[in-house]
Structure 1
């Protein structure tokens, strides 16, 4: 599964591509995606400066950071982070931010070079929705926010350090947590043990959607979660896009906590037809789309490269 399309919605807003010279998108309904193309004469930071001069920009409630690395795709976007953080007084209403809306035509997800994003969290403490794509060089620092409700991190492989930053975060109002853990082939060093801080359900008491997905350790994750108290407050458990097989699914079908969910997302899996039938009999909504060959010795995650 390569990411071939840009975001069309995020944080309850429609996402619209903005180019220099255009008017400000409607702040009530739209957020702008700022990006560079190969033939652009202006850098991302230069385009952002022009954006900040638009009449009414102070009413902007969200922003999507698109591709920034035309000159050097391996350079960390430190200047982008600095520009954004430095604009906090010009963007006092910003509470929705997606950093790295980059498709495979611009850069494969496993090649995206990220950086320390903690200055953005410090500059915009009112963020309710944060999305990040790209795990190389990524760090979030100590995550503390009473405002953040929705957190998404997409990568072909996340480091253990980043996963632990998320799992030990102080986010008392977090409702949606979606983490693409990825595969060792593309830089993942995370282990099932890194998930331990959230298992008792106390760290994120308002969590309703938990996505621990796209992992080559999906069976072990399913086994650890199947009887974890964190499930008691959830509406949806998302273990999709990884290498889930009958081994992990067996723990799910025997779990009373799983049966109390409203939705279980397992699309892109390696379960046998017999196990799929048992999952469908759980009495809840179960997504078993994109079934792979359970006899395939070379199991793969959906989003790697």
Structure 2
């Protein structure tokens, strides 16, 4: 879970309006608080309520304030911050509803990050979501969607012809979301990243749920696949080893999870991976000897990742990088 808010998104510096009573409020660079002197269409706008704000529509009010002072037709990217306390049941439905209502004004919107919430504000498992499907339906021109948090998250199968990047940062990604992506038709999607997480935090997907994504049927342009941060990473590797989608990939990430020699052996025994430019495994629990076998078998592939140090108090214990 990050400790700092995004300062770059969609290749653009993140800016936000100053929290003061000036009219109009000054745009500031989100990473430093220095003036943001760039044109409105050359930045990603961060919008959200004050952390720990529990009353009112924190996100809706912040969005309307932004759209009053910045020409909505120039906004290319939005970084959504605090929308209310998850522990009080406030879900990202409020974000989706507000953005759907503003779709006729945000006519140039290309990218949205939902949940730029850091650990000092909320643990990743406390970020409460709802159904994100209407967001994709309302913005057929959206090219990038990134989401942090998985609790309550829903995504139904969709057909979307512009989306090129889809990322889920989660300590537990619900199986319904995984199946929804796998059943979707996303002909332009090149980058798909899913942090599968652990069952304790809603990460309940298994091989049957991954099958749609791994078939690649609705993902003809996919070039990067990340199935990461899983407590079942060896099973993920075994499924990937025979997956049709792998043949069209340029890079594959199985990082951040509990990958061991068993998963690495499955990769070696499966379909050829020599066409990849990059295979990211780490942090992982693969032995040095097995990593050397992988590198020898994949001489033209960058094999990334360092082994996770063994817990001296619990030998053999493996854990994912992001859970609670």
TM-score, normalisation: structure 2? 0.87
1:148 and 1:174 in contact (8 A); partners too: yes
Give how far 1:108 is off. Answer: 0.5
Listed as ranges, the gaps of 5+ residues in structure 2 are 20-24, 28-35
1:222 aligns with 2:221: no
State how far apart, in whole Å, the 2-side matches of 1:273 and 1:71 are.
42
The residue number in structure 2 matching 1:104 is 119
Q: Which residue of 2 aligns with 1:244?
A: 259
Q: CA shift at 1:124, angstroms?
A: 1.0
Distance 2:272 2:52 in 1: 54
How far apart, in 2, do the equivalents of 1:108 and 1:56 lie? 33
Distance 1:77 1:225 in 2: 32
User: Where does residue 12 of structure 1 map in the other structure?
Assistant: 11
- Provide the C-alpha distance between the structure 1 equivalents of 2:93 and 2:215, rounded to a whole number of angstroms: 36
Corresponding position of 1:155: 170
The CA distance in 2 between the partners of 1:32 and 1:17, in whole Å, is 6
2:258/2:319 contact within 8 Å kept: yes
Which whole-Å CA distance do the structure 2 matches of 1:241 and 1:39 have between them? 30
- Match status 1:49 vs 2:50: no
* Corresponding residue of 2:106: 91
Report the equivalent of 2:46.
33
Q: Which residue of 297, 302, 305 corresponds with 2:321? A: 302
Distance 1:71 1:188, change over 3 A: closer
CA 1:153 to 1:55, structure 2 compared with 1: closer, same or farther past 3 Å?
closer
- The 1:71/1:224 distance shift into structure 2, 3 A limit, reads closer
- Report the equivalent of 1:77: 92
Distance 1:55 1:251 in 2: 52
Contact kept? 1:152, 1:179, Cα under 8 Å: yes
1:286 aligns with 2:303: yes
- CA–CA distance in 2 between the matches of 1:289 and 1:19? 41
Partner of 2:183: 168
| Mean Cα deviation higher: 151-160 or 275-284 | 275-284
CA shift at 1:137, angstroms? 1.2
Would the alpha carbon gap of residues 90 and 184 (structure 1) be closer, same or farther in structure 2, given more than 3 Å must change? same
Gaps of 5+ in 1: none
RMSD: 2.1
Decide whether the 8 Å contact of 1:192 with 1:217 is kept in 2: no
Please give the secondary structure, in 1, of the residue aligned with 2:265.
Answer: helix
* Residue pair 1:61, 1:94 contacting (<8 A) in 2 also: yes
Deviation, structure 1 residue 6: 1.7
Q: Does structure 1 conserve the Cα–Cα contact (< 8 Å) formed by 2:189 and 2:219? A: yes
For residues 210 and 219 of structure 1, the distance between their equivalents in structure 2, rounded to whole angstroms, comes to 16
Q: What is the distance in 2 between the residues matched to 1:293 and 1:127?
A: 43
Contact 1:64 1:98 (C-alpha < 8 Å) held by counterparts: yes
Cα 1:29–1:296 shift into 2, 3 Å: farther
Give per-residue Cα distances to partners, 1:280-299, cap 9 Å, x unaligned: 22211011225333994321
TM-score, normalised to structure 1, is: 0.92
- Number of matched pairs: 304
2-structure distance, mates of 1:202, 1:39? 43
